[in-house]
């Protein structure tokens, strides 16, 4: 059962990274416009510049 010594912290770490990314993306406003992203994928505005 020694494997738990690093597997459990690893699982928690991965979960923590996910939580951090979620909170960051929400604060950055990525959930403000749920429809826009689907439409913007066809836009090449960013390439022109």
- Count of alpha carbons within 13 angstroms of residue 40, beta-carbon side: 8
Asked if residue 19 binds another protein (CB under 8 A), the reply is: yes
Cα–Cα distance, 49 to 47 (Å, whole number): 5
Number of residues that bind another protein (CB under 8 A): 23
Asked if residue 22 binds another protein (CB under 8 A), the reply is: yes
Cα–Cα distance, 10 to 15 (Å, whole number): 9
Q: Token pair of 41, please?
A: 């994928």
Asked if residue 16 binds another protein (CB under 8 A), the reply is: yes
Sites of contact with another protein (CB under 8 A): 1, 4, 8, 11-12, 15-16, 18-19, 22-23, 26, 31-36, 39-40, 42-43, 45
């Amino acid at each position: 059962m020694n494997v738990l010594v690093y597997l459990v912290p690893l699982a928690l770490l991965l979960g923590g990274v996910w939580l951090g990314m979620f909170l960051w993306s929400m604060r950055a406003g990525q959930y403000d416009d749920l429809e826009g992203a689907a439409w913007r994928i066809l836009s090449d505005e960013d390439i022109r510049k």
